[in-house]
Amino acid sequence: MAVIIKTAEEIEKMRELGRLAAEALDYIGQFVKPGVTTNELDKLIYDYHTEVQGGYPAPLNYGNPPYPKSCCTSVNHVICHGIPDDKPLKNGDILNIDVTIKKDGFHGDSSRMFAVGKISPHAQRLIDVTHQSMMAGIEAVKPGATLGDVGYACQQVAENAGYSVVQEFCGHGIGRGFHEEPQILHYGRKGQGLVLQPGMIFTVEPMINQGKRHLRILADGWTVVTKDRSLSAQWEHEVLVTETGYEILTISPQTGKP
């Protein structure tokens, strides 16, 4: 599959879908507190996508086995693809919520970390460094740069802080397809890999572990956890390669911050 360079019209639609994904994350944040279940959060996301935004949650029934929920909720040592359930969140948990809305044949995909109540300083540091890792990768995006430059930037921030980068899961192109080419690794070597061109849109979404990078996938076929049960964090933005650099399509409308 070739990388799809988006037209001006497609870029405008992707700006709209990116804003919708960010708005959904702005909306759900107020409900993240001790005692709420991730199933309750999932229902709120479904209702918001369908009733308020006029779209549909792309994860629902996606893949094989079909993903059973409308968003991914990854708690503590869950790296990604955590399936919402009826277990209440507790004070001190950290939570990644990953949403993808589909509307008018296009996709908007973003994820953020949320603190449940008061979290430990070491959990907060992991969240902060993971965000810095994502932003370093994004800041490496410009025409003529390579995917290796992006991965290298993410990796340097994480490993310099004493953390490890998950290598089995990556970012991806996005547009009319939920997952398009290219794959965006969050580790790599400068100057290697695909050369970036204006009109590419993809996600940068490093998964960073407090302990070792190794993982296992649970019997449900989706939930990915750290093998050593150390905490894991992830942030995700959608990025457009512009003529001069990059544009983040999923900045929070509420705060104006990436």
Binding-site residues for a divalent metal cation sit at 98, 109, 172, 205, 236
Cα separation, 202 vs 240, whole angstroms:
7
**Quick one: which of 28, 27, 163, 21 has its CA closest to 89?**
28
Given a contact cutoff of 8 angstroms between Cβ atoms, the answer to whether 126 and 93 are in contact is no
- How do strand 246-248 and strand 232-234 relate by DSSP bridges? unpaired
Tell me how many degrees the CA angle 77-223-87 measures, rounded to the nearest 5.
70
Residues 6+ apart with CB under 8 A from 62: 178
Q: How far is CA 12 from CA 4, 19, 139, in A?
A: 15, 11, 22
Cα separation, 224 vs 219, whole angstroms:
10
Binding-site residues sit at 81, 98, 109, 172, 179, 205, 236
Binding-site residues for substrate sit at 81, 179
